[in-house]
Amino acid sequence: MVVGIMIFHETKLKGAFIIKPEKKEDERGFFARTFSQDEFLAHGLNATIVQSDISHIRTKGTFRGMHFQAPPFEEDKIVSCYQGAILDFIVDLRSESPTFKEWIKNELSSENGHSIYIPKSFAHGFYTLSDNTQVCYLMTQYHRPEHAWGFRFDDPAFDISVPDKIANLSEKDRSYPDLYLLPS
């Protein structure tokens, strides 16, 4: 069987990529590559994965985020949805970037197979579009709870909106301060 390649599309936020698998289909189903160190390096992306995590969310309408790791433990991450579907949000927190504080959203699902490469100094969050959703994270830095930060998805500095009512939001995510109030 011929192995497929990955198709990289840079977003309007420099360094953030939507990655689509090239599926090779036959009567059994399909086969697709979801990670290749060589292909990531060829696009100038960090391919040193040190940790992989999975998040299982039971309820449609759950929001997780907006999360990031503070210096010196910033991380690049690759986020994929292996079961169900999410509306994925990233915010550029690089103060020197021309897209500072801009955000994008993309649908990631088990059906479309898309992933997103999120560079260091970006915040990340998602809204579940279906029950029993599973999200996988590949990270280039070990998680350090003492350096985990966030801000509320409804921070007035942004106009992040979700397609329906939020059914579930953790107390931690609900109580994050506005971005400008975070320690530097």
pLDDT at 71: 92
Q: Which 8-state DSSP code applies to residue 141? A: S
Establish if 8 belongs to a structural domain: no
The number of beta carbons lying within 10 Å of the beta carbon of residue 93 is 19
| Residue 130 is assigned to a structural domain of this protein | yes
CATH number (domain holding residue 130): 2.60.120.10
Domains held by the chain: number: 1
- Per-residue model confidence as pLDDT tens for the chain (184 residues): 334 589 999 999 999 999 999 988 899 998 888 999 999 999 999 999 999 999 999 999 999 999 999 999 999 999 999 999 999 999 999 999 999 999 999 999 999 999 999 999 999 999 999 999 999 999 999 999 999 999 999 998 888 999 999 999 999 999 999 887 655 5
| Residue 65 domain flag | yes
Q: What is the number of alpha carbons within 13 Å of residue 61 lying toward its C-beta? A: 5
Query: Is residue 17 within 8 Å of residue 110, measured between CB atoms?
Result: no
Whether residue 161 lies inside any domain: the answer is yes
Alpha helices by DSSP H, listed for the chain, are: 37-42, 171-175
pTM of the model: 0.93
pLDDT at 135: 98
Q: Which of 114, 117, 127, 137 is catalytic?
A: 137
Assigned domain for 25 exists: no
How many residues would you count in the chain? 184
Residue 23 lies in a domain: no
Catalytic annotation, pick one of 43, 67, 143, 147: 67
Q: Please give the pLDDT value at position 181.
A: 65
Domain-located, residue 5: no
Q: Domain span at residue 112? A: 49-177
pLDDT of residue 1: 32
Question: Is residue 127 annotated as part of the catalytic site, yes or no?
Answer: no
Q: Does 89 fall in a domain?
A: yes
142 included as an active-site residue: no
Question: CA 123 to CA 66: how far, in whole Å?
Answer: 6
Give the separation between CA 81 and CA 127, rounded to whole angstroms.
12
